[in-house]
């Protein structure tokens, strides 16, 4: 679906199928009609392309959040979490797993304190991941269902606010 809009965003006409500007005919041409626009004041809004770009932006934003928060260390963090959980499940009895021990040494903590910290941070991150996933999926479907540019813009504005809030909460700054 496409729309021709004025500069203030008002929709003049909506249609489906091919549309292109014809300099020879002085307007936007479809298979059935030419919409006069000799000064080319109208803007073409291609909703499928705009929706595809919005969906791609949502995924890229999430990838950027994950990259800023954990970078390429996901496997390391997951291993530390598994080792900390195994150690805690064993009643914090030796032997102390290597990932837990390295954190305890680095922080000057006991092995139990290090394991508990790893598990607390992992729980916070898992909660953030669940929220990010829920919002990513919801906003992508809202973008796909947008009936026009205004609806798509509203979805993306809500998404941008969410991204800013998550970045602030995770302490990873701007985009």
DSSP conformation letters of 131-146: HHHHHHHHHHHHHHH-
* Distance from C-alpha of 86 to C-alpha of 96, rounded to nearest angstrom: 10
pLDDT band at residue 9, thresholds of 50, 70 and 90? confident
Asked if 147 and 87 sit in the same domain, the reply is yes
Mean pLDDT (the chain, rounded): 93
Give counts: helices (H), strands (E), the chain.
5, 6
Please classify residue 170 by burial: count the beta carbons closer than 10 Å to its beta carbon, then call 0-12 exposed, 13-18 middle and 19+ buried.
middle
Segment 45-68 shows an average pLDDT of 95
Nearest to 52 by CA among 171, 133, 140: 140
Write out the H or E segment, with its range, that includes residue 3.
strand 2-5
pLDDT over threshold 90, residue 81:
yes
Query: Would you say 2 and 14 are in contact if contact means Cβ atoms under 8 Å apart?
Result: yes
Mean pLDDT of 16-43: 90
Q: Quick check: is 175 in a domain?
A: no
Element (H, E) at 46: strand 43-46
Mean pLDDT of the region 120-147: 96
Quick check: is 124 in a domain? yes
| Residue range(s) defining the domain that contains residue 32 | 1-41
Helix (H) or strand (E) holding 6: none
102 lies in the same domain as 133: yes
Is the pLDDT score of 175 beyond 60? no
Looking at the structure, do residues 26 and 88 belong to the same domain, yes or no?
A: no
Let me know whether 36 and 51 are in one domain: no
Kindly state whether residues 4 and 85 are assigned to the same domain: no
Q: Is residue 96 part of a domain?
A: yes
Residue range 76-102: mean pLDDT, rounded: 98
């Amino acid at each position: 679906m496409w729309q021709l809009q004025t500069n203030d965003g008002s929709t003049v006409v909506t249609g489906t199928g091919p549309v292109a500007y014809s300099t020879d005919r002085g307007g936007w041409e479809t298979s059935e009609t030419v919409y006069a626009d000799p000064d080319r004041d109208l803007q073409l809004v291609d909703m499928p392309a705009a929706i595809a770009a919005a969906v791609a932006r949502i995924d890229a934003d999430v990838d950027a959040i994950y990259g800023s928060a954990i970078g390429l260390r996901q496997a390391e963090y997951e291993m530390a979490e598994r080792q900390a959980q195994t150690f805690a499940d064993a009643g914090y009895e030796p032997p102390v797993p290597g990932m837990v021990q390295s954190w305890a040494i680095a922080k000057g903590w006991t092995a139990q304190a290090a394991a508990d910290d790893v598990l607390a941070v992992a729980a916070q991150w898992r909660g953030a991941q669940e929220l990010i996933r829920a919002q990513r999926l919801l906003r992508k479907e809202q973008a796909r269902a947008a009936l026009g540019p205004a609806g798509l813009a509203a979805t993306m504005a809500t998404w941008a606010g969410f991204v800013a809030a998550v970045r602030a909460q995770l302490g990873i700054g701007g985009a």
